[in-house]
Structure 1
Amino acid sequence: MSDIDKPTLTNAPQMYVHYCENEGCKQWGGWGNSPSPAVPTRSWCFAHFPHKSYEQEQALRQKLEAAERRNIIQ
């Protein structure tokens, strides 16, 4: 299909806003997954995303520790 064959866009695309599913968290839920198209997608912020790799967990822990040290110093 070429660009010429596509119909013109009549309505503006609608953005789906999703936040972290962790209770009390107001962060953007940019990390999500669904096991199949029939199951609704669940979304989390990176801090609460349950499917992180070991390396991602370590990087997050280091980032949080560094932020905590800066708060103590100030």
Structure 2
Amino acid sequence: MSDTDKPELTNAPQMYVHYCEEEGCEEWGGFGRSATKEEPPRWWCWEHFPHKSYEQETALRRNLEAAERDG
């Protein structure tokens, strides 16, 4: 199929809004994860995302501590 044979886009793509699943957090949930395709994904903000590597977690902790000292 070439580009000229494709039907026109009649509906705008849907935007999904996900917020962090951590209780009390109202941040944007930009990091989702699902164990299987059948299971709906769960969404978290970066601070609450439970699947960060050790290096990512350490960098986040350093940044939060620096922000508390400076601010």
Number of equivalenced pairs = 71
Alignment of 1:25 with 2:25, yes or no, is yes
Instruction: Please tell me the root mean square deviation across aligned C-alpha atoms, in Å.
Output: 1.0
Structure 1: gaps (5+ residues): none
Gaps of at least 5 residues in structure 2 are none
Cα distance in structure 1, aligned partners of 2:65 and 2:19: 24
TM-score (norm 1): 0.89
Q: How does 1:13-52 map to 2 (within 5 A)?
A: 13-52=13-52
Deviations 1:2-38 (A, max 9, x none): 3223221101111000000001101100011111111
Task: Give structure 1 regions of 4+ aligned residues with deviation exceeding 2 angstroms.
Answer: 1-6
